[in-house]
Structure 1
Amino acid sequence: MKKIYLLLLLVSGFTFANNTQPLESIQNDPKVGDVLVINSTSNIKYNHIDFPQLNIIAKKGNIANYKSVHGKRVVVKEVVNNENGHTKVLLENEDNTKFFGVVKHVEANYTKALTSGEMSKVNP
């Protein structure tokens, strides 16, 4: 009976070790045209999405907070892979409006923004 358990453990170990590509990279490959949602953060500002600073938004005549982007659907327009292993994406509003009435496109670190919860993927 011990041999059967040992054999079962060995076979299941080989099954999981056979995966050559990590699951994280399979799920996190962005493509142009992917739709994402910007989530609200517990922090005051976004660390991995490069929105304009609040004082710039206020100087342009808009309300200086990030609440207008909470729950906003964005589309990936460009994907850039760095040599560091980080993936940068260029985001645009799904309805082609400007963020805060100021900028048309925003750059984000895709992998860090997903893991921190600043962005999430929309299920098709």
Structure 2
Amino acid sequence: MKKLLFTLLCFTFLLSASAHNEPKVGDILTVKTPSAEGFNHIDFPKANTLIKRGIVTGYKSVNNEAVVIDDIETEDNGSTTVTLKKKDGSKFFGILNKVKANYAKAIGSGELVVIK
């Protein structure tokens, strides 16, 4: 009987944990700058493109920036792509209204953090 209760408890925990991994339109996330050169899972412009446009701050302007999920697309292979916009309504780097990101990979690598 104890094994059955323990199994049911673990199963409920897994279901509740997996329910929090699903993105919803309107969820608020925070962009964290990775320790590497650039973002791998968020489609920001490359650093050299920003420098050519005269934006010398690089990725510092998006560090700890609050973003909102605007749109969700699920691919045939099961990956989820989200469209992000800034919470305050301004543009990323002064040029982009929205950017796309692979949700699971960006969360896993720490580029995006869910705000509760």
Q: TM-score, normalised by structure 1?
A: 0.82
How far apart, in 2, do the equivalents of 1:57 and 1:9 lie?
A: 58
RMSD: 1.8
Q: What residue ranges of structure 2 are gaps of 5+ in the alignment?
A: none
Which one-letter code corresponds to 2:102 in the other structure?
A: N
Higher-Rg member (1/2): 1
Question: Secondary structure of 2:64's partner?
Answer: coil
How far apart, in 1, do the equivalents of 2:34 and 2:15 lie?
A: 28
Please identify, of 63-72 and 86-95, the stretch whose mean Cα deviation from structure 2 is larger.
Answer: 63-72
Please identify, of 8-17 and 79-88, the stretch whose mean Cα deviation from structure 2 is larger.
Answer: 8-17
Question: Secondary structure of 1:33's partner?
Answer: coil
Q: What residue ranges of structure 1 are gaps of 5+ in the alignment?
A: 1-6
What is aligned with 2:94? 101
- How many angstroms does 1:14 deviate by? 4.3
Provide the aligned length of Structure 1 versus Structure 2.
115
Structure 1 stretches of at least 4 aligned residues deviating more than 3 Å after TM superposition? 21-25
The reply to whether residue 116 of structure 1 matches residue 109 of structure 2 is yes
Question: Secondary structure of 2:49's partner?
Answer: helix
What is aligned with 1:11? 5
